[in-house]
Structure 1
Amino acid sequence: MGLLDQLLDPGFRQAASVEILVGAEQADLGSLADLVSSIEVRSARMEAASASITIDDRRDTNGDYMAADSGLFARWAAIVINADFQTHIEEVFRGYIMELKPSYPQNGGEAKLVIECLDDSAALSREHQRRIWGDETAPMTDRAILEELISPLPLTLASGPEGASARALTQDATPIAFLQDRAKANGFEMIFERGEIYFGPKRLESDPQAKIMVYAGSATNCLNFEVSDEANKPDIVAWEKAPATDGAEAVTGEAVADLPLLGRYPAASEGAGLGTPAIARIKGEGDETVDEVTARAQGLVNEASFRIKASGELDGTLYGHVLRVGGTVTVDGVGSRNGGIYYVDTVTHQFSPDGYRQQFQLIRNAVGETEAIGAPPLSSVLSAIQNLF
């Protein structure tokens, strides 16, 4: 279906609603759904996703509370939150109930049950483990370690690189804390979403999600948009690894950003006229290998190259999709410098009586739209069409 057909389709902009499924059987809330007053889901590339559900609880004729005493909600119960766009359903959150917080103020009509949840990574936080991964004769890659740690859980591992090879790598932490350290050592992201784990570098060459439209007439879905363009970030991360033996020399090196550009011109090129690059320095930590400190330096300089940050808010109904972290998205309608492809850093989803809102933060390592020469942005085309009527 083309864009104009979508705009004319009466089902295209039906109000988005929310669906909550609880337990291994994924039971819906039934009549309790009418008591849900707000839902907030916080997702981020570098942190576990969390959700908070507020239910306005009511007392029945037996003196029990409809939500708190329903038996439907329990610690460690599985929970899924979906956005229902009437024409299709998209998952917003999947994880476990971690905390139940009923409150009974003086006014009984204000009783509430707040349910706090964490994503699937919570299942990897239950046991502090001490073990050795790999040895000199049989090294293990980080991907192989991850596969073994998640094997008891209903999770799948998305395609991605193998990561570093471990020889006698010591784990003395919960699996999630250990895996977070391994992601940092590789300069990787680790994102739990829709029953799947992504463990790998930024997916900058992925297909962009549905466009964020600013000042695009009836196609506008973005309520506000702001950009921050930061200067004081390193262009180079220099690293040093202390000598392994007395009398040996330290191993040194430098890392520069090597990621694809989300725009026409690298953000780092502005300021090059100062004559000297901005340099940060790090040292190898503990028993880090040269490969590991090199990967860490590369990850730091790559992250620092994302000098452009943007924030804004989507009308979820008009957008018609769940904006997902760890993927690209095109922003249209903010000019040739600030328009184009961004990477999604964080999204906060809010369902309330006012509707569905998505508050986002985006990052970018370049400026300038990457539309083909001679092809105007979509917002300009739509404005021109509207001027015909």
Structure 2
Amino acid sequence: MGFLVDRLGIRLLLLMGATIPVPAPAEVVRALTEVRVVRHAGGRDGFTLTFSIGKDKSLDYALTAAGATGVLNRVVIVALLGAVPDVLIDGVITLQQHIPDQEPGRSRLVVTGTDLMTLLDLEEKNAEFPAMPDFAIVQRILAGYPALALAPVTVPTSEIPIPFERIPRQAETDLAFIHRLAHRNGYVFYIDSLSVLANTAYFGPETRLGLPQPALSMDSGMGSNVASLSFTQDGLAPVAPSGTFFEPITKTVLPIPPLPSLRIPPLSSSPTPAARKVLLRDAGNKSPGLALSASVSAVSTAPPSVTGTGQVDTAHYGSVLHIRRPVGVRGAGRTYDGLYYVQRVTHQIDVRHSKYTQDFTLTREGTGSLLPAVPP
């Protein structure tokens, strides 16, 4: 199926299915009026599909009867700008909202869903993982979801627990447990699409590597491609952790040294200094490895101090913005020009009026540019 082709040169593909998604049925395609996809590097991804529905001669709703919009069915939404497909989201339906209307053709079916991590959050479990480092635990958990065909990418963690000292225990869902393991190591966990029906599960430090996306340009005359863009700097966002830990060999209490953030590479030439001091109050009860990890986690999970928010018209910008990748900003002045990390993107597609916009949130740790933006 394809939408927006004539006016914008953009095609939208929709795949749906109970197990393996396939191209959506014709009646579903014809009924689709709006698509909204939210991608969030620091939270959960979601989507909303709005359909215009009407009763057929049997007084049943043909769209719901088709079965493609059933709860927990899988949905893949793909945008094609040119020949390269960009998977906006691969997820599952979690909610249906049927909104009848007395006026013919005005009834709607709104289908809401979340990313594939939902399937890791359906069952609470009790389990033990003796002598297993955290990254190996994550590998074992992900192996229990063969139907998702995930390609795991796990970065080794520093501590291997000794059974007579500590045994890692799970008392929550797989997703909640993985997030707990990620937080204590200063890591992140997410599932992202490599291509259609091919996904990776990443457990490791937040990385900003990769080729920068085409620059977001403002105040550049004909070269401007953003509808709006503004910036804020929060001086209370960074933190400086402090604490002590017990060194078992020398039997001494040592201070936790200052440790850098795991967010790599840095993107600003003038990072915002940490005005807030936080105490790692339980670090003394941890092993040296876990105490150091707690310090790294506090620095790495603190909010970035500089945030940029704005909107682009996709046809004008000419590209799909990807979260967890760098993008350049030009025309905002020396303080705010340069590379940013794309934290959040909301894709809003109005099929009826052939309009596709992207609202975005950019972040970095301070002001000033380390590297120039890549031209659009």
Q: Normalised by the size of structure 1, how large is the TM-score? A: 0.81
- 2: CA distance, partners of 1:291 / 1:130: 25
Match of residue 320 from structure 1: 318
- Pair 126,193 (structure 1): closer, same or farther in 2 beyond 3 Å: same
- Pair 166,111 (structure 1): closer, same or farther in 2 beyond 3 Å: farther
Structure 2 alignment gaps of length 5 or more:
162-166, 194-198
Deviations 1:162-200, CA, capped at 9 Å, x for gaps: 124453200111100100111111111112111111211
Give the deviation of 1:354 after TM superposition: 5.4
Aligned mate of 2:31, from 31, 35, 40: 35
Aligned mate of 2:270, from 237, 259, 265: 265
Verify the 8 A CA contact 1:228 1:310 in the aligned structure 2: yes
Deviations 1:71-101, CA, capped at 9 Å, x for gaps: 2221221110011224332110001111222
Identity of aligned residues (%): 20
1:98 equivalent to 2:101? Answer: no
**What pairs up with 1:1-389 in 2 under 5 angstroms?**
14-23=8-17, 24-107=20-103, 109-135=105-131, 140-151=132-143, 152-153=145-146, 154-167=148-161, 168-194=167-193, 195-240=199-244, 252-258=255-261, 259-268=264-273, 278-284=276-282, 288-304=286-302, 306-352=304-350, 353=353, 355-371=355-371, 378=375
Instruction: Give the letter for the 1:221 counterpart.
Output: N
Verify the 8 A CA contact 1:235 1:257 in the aligned structure 2: no
- Pair 299,327 (structure 1): closer, same or farther in 2 beyond 3 Å: farther
3-state SS of the aligned residue for 1:264? strand
Moved more, 97-106 or 39-48: 97-106
- 1: CA distance, partners of 2:136 / 2:287: 19
- 2: CA distance, partners of 1:89 / 1:162: 32
- Pair 366,71 (structure 1): closer, same or farther in 2 beyond 3 Å: same
Give the deviation of 1:333 after TM superposition: 1.8
- Pair 101,278 (structure 1): closer, same or farther in 2 beyond 3 Å: closer
Instruction: Give the letter for the 1:186 counterpart.
Output: N
- 2: CA distance, partners of 1:90 / 1:234: 34
Verify the 8 A CA contact 2:246 2:287 in the aligned structure 1: no
- 1: CA distance, partners of 2:103 / 2:286: 58
Give the deviation of 1:30 after TM superposition: 2.1
Instruction: Give the letter for the 2:356 counterpart.
Output: Y
- 2: CA distance, partners of 1:285 / 1:254: 12
Give the deviation of 1:371 after TM superposition: 4.3
- Pair 327,293 (structure 1): closer, same or farther in 2 beyond 3 Å: farther
Moved more, 52-61 or 209-218: 209-218
Verify the 8 A CA contact 1:52 1:114 in the aligned structure 2: yes
Match of residue 164 from structure 2: none
Q: Normalised by the size of structure 2, how large is the TM-score? A: 0.84
- 2: CA distance, partners of 1:377 / 1:78: 36
For the aligned residues, what is the CA RMSD? 2.9
Deviations 1:249-305, CA, capped at 9 Å, x for gaps: 765424343454202222329xxxxxxx54222322897544234223222223437
Moved more, 81-90 or 328-337: 81-90
Which consecutive aligned stretches of 4+ in structure 1 deviate over 6 angstroms post-superposition?
A: none
- 2: CA distance, partners of 1:14 / 1:216: 23
Instruction: Give the letter for the 1:368 counterpart.
Output: G
Instruction: Give the letter for the 1:162 counterpart.
Output: P
- Pair 340,72 (structure 1): closer, same or farther in 2 beyond 3 Å: same
Deviations 1:121-158, CA, capped at 9 Å, x for gaps: 111112211111123xxxx2322222221223324345
3-state SS of the aligned residue for 2:315? helix
